[in-house]
Amino acid sequence: MTTPSLELCLLGGIELRGAPAGVADDVLSQSKAVALLAFLALSPDGRFQRRDRLIGLLWPELDQSHARTALRQALFKLRGSLGTDVLAARGNDEVAISPGALRCDAVEFTSAVDAGRLARALELYRGDLMPGFFLSDCIEFERWLEDERSSARERAAAASWALAVALESDREFTAAASWARRAVHHASTDERVLRRAVQMLERLGNRGGAVKLYEDFAARLRADLNVEPSPETRALMNAIRSR
C-alpha cells in the first residue's frame, strides 16, 4: 500500500505536510476548515460522518440552509487545495477522508498504543492534541476536542508508565525514572500516577527526585486548580521524607 503524501499533524501543534507551503498555509489559516479536516481524520476507523452532524458541530449559529452552504464551501475548499481524492462522499449526506489519502499523527499514535508499540507512540506524542485551537460559539466541537485531548493525554501517560515499569524490570533504572516522570507530566493532575511514580523513584534510590516530583506536582495543582494534594498523597510523601 502506498504511503499517503499528505500528513495532518495535530500533536504538539498543527501542521499540514506534503502540500505546497502556500496551499498548506491557506488551509491552516481557516479555522473551520482545520476543524473539519481534524474531525474527519479522527473519526474512528475513518467512518463516514453525516453532514447534519458536521454543521451542528461547526456552524451552530447558522440556520440549516446557510450552514449547509458553509459546509459545502469548506469541503470545496479542501478538495480544491488538497486534491479531489482526499474526501469521499456516500450519497448526498455523508462524507469521510478517503481511505489511504491522508496520514494523521494522532491516529497513528492511538494505533501504536493499542498495538503495544509504546516507544513509537511516545515518539509521535509531541504534546497536546491541537494545542491552543479554539472555535468560539462551537460548544459541541469544543467538548469533542477536549474529550479527544484528554483521551490522548491518558494514553500517553499510560504508555509512559508501562515503559517505566518494563525498564525497571530490565534494571534500566535511569530510563525507568525518566519515563515515570514523563507519565506524571502527561497526567498532570492525576494523583494516582504521581503516587506510583514517587514510589518507584524512592525504590530506585532517588528520594530527592521523588520529593521534587511531588513538590512540582503540588505547585501545579495550586496554580491550576487552587487545591492541595489529597491526604493520602501527603501521607505518602511524609513517609518518604521520614525514611
pTM of the model: 0.91
Determine the Cα–Cα distance for residues 32 and 71; give it in Å rounded to an integer.
9
| 146 falls within a domain | yes
pLDDT on residue 4:
65
Give how many domains the chain has, as a whole number. Answer: 2
Of how many residues is the chain composed?
243
Name the pLDDT band for 35 (thresholds 50, 70, 90). very high
139 shares a domain with 76: no
| 111 falls within a domain | no
- The mean pLDDT of 85-105, rounded to a whole number, is 95
Full residue range of the structural domain in which residue 69 is found: 7-104
Determine the Cα–Cα distance for residues 35 and 55; give it in Å rounded to an integer.
11
59 shares a domain with 150: no
* Beta sheet of 87-90, edge-to-edge order: 49-50, 94-97, 87-90
What are φ and ψ of residue 15, in 5° steps?
-135, 155
46 shares a domain with 93: yes
Q: What is the pLDDT of residues 135-146, one digit of tens each?
A: 999 999 999 999
Residue 133: partners with Cβ closer than 8 Å, 6 or more residues away: 14, 31, 34, 35, 145
188 shares a domain with 92: no
165 shares a domain with 84: no
| 127 falls within a domain | no
**Gap between the terminal Cα atoms of the chain:** 58
Give the CATH number, domain containing residue 181.
1.25.40.10
Per DSSP, the three-state class of 79 is helix
Question: What's the burial of 33, exposed, middle or buried (CB within 10 Å: 0-12/13-18/19+)?
Answer: buried
19 shares a domain with 98: yes
- Would you say residue 113 has pLDDT above 50? yes
180: number of Cβ within 10 Å: 30
Q: What is the pLDDT of residues 200-243, one digit of tens each?
A: 999 999 999 999 999 999 999 999 999 999 999 999 999 999 98
Name the pLDDT band for 3 (thresholds 50, 70, 90). low
Q: What is the pLDDT of residues 65-89, one digit of tens each?
A: 999 999 999 999 999 999 999 999 9
